[in-house]
Amino acid sequence: MDKTKAHCNTCGGDRNHGIAHCEKASWSDDEYGVHGDDTYEMLKCLGCETITLRHTSWVSAEDDVRISYFPQSIFRPKPKWLDALWLELSPTDLFVYELLGEIYVALHNDLKSLAAMGVRSLIEKVMISKTGDKGTFAKNLAEFENLGFVSTKQKERIEAILDAGHATIHRDFKPALSDVITLVDMAEHIVETVYLHESKITALKKRVPPRQLKT
């Protein structure tokens, strides 16, 4: 069996795979003078034996090949607290879980601009849900800091996120995968701090018996 390097969701990265089966189809479009081919490979990870289908598409008019996997590649595992988050959120805050889910779908499908816009939208909605809408991003963010949800340092990072999201929407900025991963990291950190740490602290306060005043 021939071998190739390919992404394995189970192992979490590029691994050696055996090519169990391969089909190739070529096409050409005489009117536009382009041609290309599609290669479909059934791959088996030589580490964990997971089976994946890889589609490699090449078009003569483009420099790069396009590669997609079925099931979709997961380049970044979801946080372990995601299920706990769903249980912790009130019905009015469920948008946090839903939007995060959509951001992961965009990320796993290499839709980097959509993922960046999603992060911006998520952070804005989180801020507004906690501070009420103060009219502008800057005012919402200042109030978010005032109420102690973020430190000054974190506020600066959020400003950078909002600007990247804004640039993606309005200034034709195309974020790299590493940019988007940084944005998603930050978004996860904020969600965890705002919704999970808060509830853990509340639960802790309930468990700790109050101090007895000495008489």
Which CB atom, from 69 or from 86, has the smaller least distance to Zn ion? 69
Is position 11 an interface residue for Zn ion (rule: CB under 5 A)?
yes
Which CB atom, from 10 or from 60, has the smaller least distance to Zn ion? 10
Q: Output phi, psi for 73, to 5 deg.
A: -70, 135
Q: Are 6 and 15 in contact (CB under 8 A)?
A: yes
Is position 43 an interface residue for Zn ion (rule: CB under 5 A)?
no
Instruction: With CA atoms as reference, report the closest residue to 120 among 159, 87, 149.
Output: 159
Closest CB 47 distance from Zn ion, rounded Å? 4
Q: Are 96 and 187 in contact (CB under 8 A)?
A: no
71 to 110: interface string for Zn ion, x by CB under 5 A: ----------------------------------------
Span interacting with Zn ion, options 5-13, 52-60, 130-138, 165-173, rule CB under 5 A? 5-13
Span interacting with Zn ion, options 28-36, 39-47, 84-92, 131-139, rule CB under 5 A? 39-47
- Is the Cα dihedral 60, 61, 65, 68 positive or negative? negative
Which CB atom, from 15 or from 166, has the smaller least distance to Zn ion? 15
Closest CB 10 distance from Zn ion, rounded Å? 4
Span interacting with Zn ion, options 3-11, 140-148, 155-163, 178-186, rule CB under 5 A? 3-11
Identified binder of Zn ion from the candidate list 45, 96, 115, 186, rule CB under 5 A: 45
Distance CA 92, CA 194 (A): 14
How would you list the strands of the sheet with 34-45, edge to edge? 3-8, 13-29, 34-45, 51-59, 66-70
Q: Are 52 and 5 in contact (CB under 8 A)?
A: no
Instruction: With CA atoms as reference, report the closest residue to 74 among 2, 4, 8.
Output: 8
Is position 47 an interface residue for Zn ion (rule: CB under 5 A)?
yes
Is position 141 an interface residue for Zn ion (rule: CB under 5 A)?
no
| Residues at the interface with Zn ion (CB under 5 A) | 8, 10-11, 15, 45, 47-48, 50
